Amino acid sequence: MYHAVRLSVGNRLFFAPVENPTSVLDIGTGTGIWAIEFADTYPAAEVCGTDLSPIQPSYVPPNLQFEIADADEEWTFRQQFDLVHSRVMNDTSLKNCKSTQTSGVVLKPGGWVESQEFSYKRYSDDNSIPADSRITEWENLWTEGINKIGLKGHCDPDLVMQQMRDAGFINVARLNFKMPIGPWAKDKRLREAGMFGYVNLMDGFYGLSVKVFTQLLAWQVEELQVLLAQCRQELRRKDIHGYWPM
């Protein structure tokens, strides 16, 4: 999914007006790919990536370190950062507002916080998503499931911006992008982004769904497999021009 997001935003690592960064924090770093690219691009910067899971590679740029940390718990960083970055945290953080407020504490004066999120709810500009879409059904059920444990799944940009203002941030801005699902876009870059999104969903539907549907919605695995087979079949249709808003 990293490559789909990166291509959808014009291959930009970040948008905050940070020049010559010397210290950068990546919250919810996952596999660490963003932090690795940042460290390679800015070798003079010290980059720290944090995540609950130690799944990052051991061979990384010398200016990058990974730490096991929970973004929802107390932050204990001794240094301050020019940029605090996060991506696709809207469906994982139980206390997004707290994390937003805490980000300001570890910023240098004049530092920036950047959050790149997308919503697991498809839209289309040409009304090509069918009324009986099985993927839409999956989206609604998945959201219903994670709502049961206090997660949202669909990023509300207005809410995020208000949280930032409430936390004392200034110059709060929003940039809008579209991440195509499937290789339908005419633009070459967006078409490639759509292919990455397509492959990610085809391969990742089950892993994204199984706990939500079986543990939170009490579905049988066989029921879920039928729904996902229908979703994959719909995903192959070239006449549906869906995208996820970012």
96-119 pLDDT, tens digit per residue, is: 545 665 677 788 999 999 988 877
Q: Of residues 20 and 159, which shows the higher confidence score?
A: 20
pLDDT digits (tens, 9 = 90+) for 161-218: 888 888 888 999 999 999 999 999 999 999 999 999 899 889 999 998 999 999 999 9
Q: Would the pLDDT of 156 be above 90? A: no
For residues 39-45, average pLDDT: 97
In this predicted structure, what is the pLDDT of residue 48?
A: 96
For residues 21-50, average pLDDT: 94
Nearest to 13 by CA among 27, 1, 3, 22: 3
Poorest-pLDDT segment among 37-51, 140-154, 187-201, 209-223: 140-154
Q: Of residues 7 and 103, which shows the higher confidence score?
A: 7
Q: Would the pLDDT of 60 be above 50? A: yes
Residue-range domain boundaries for the chain: 1-118+155-179, 122-153+180-237
In this predicted structure, what is the pLDDT of residue 157?
A: 76
SS3 breakdown of the chain: % helix, strand, coil, rounded to 5?
Answer: 40, 15, 45
Provide, rounded to the nearest whole percent, the portion of the chain with pLDDT above 70: 93
In this predicted structure, what is the pLDDT of residue 98?
A: 53
Poorest-pLDDT segment among 51-60, 146-155, 162-171: 146-155
Poorest-pLDDT segment among 6-10, 17-21, 165-169: 165-169
Q: pLDDT confidence of 94, banded at 50, 70, 90? A: very low
Asked if the 1-118+155-179 domain carries CATH number 3.40.50.150, the reply is yes
DSSP 8-state class, residue 60: -
Burial annotation 158-168 (CB, 10 A radius, 16+ → b, else e): eebbebbeebe
In this predicted structure, what is the pLDDT of residue 219?
A: 98
DSSP 8-state class, residue 123: B
Helix or strand holding residue 137 (H, E): helix 134-147
For residues 38-50, average pLDDT: 96
pTM over 0.85: yes
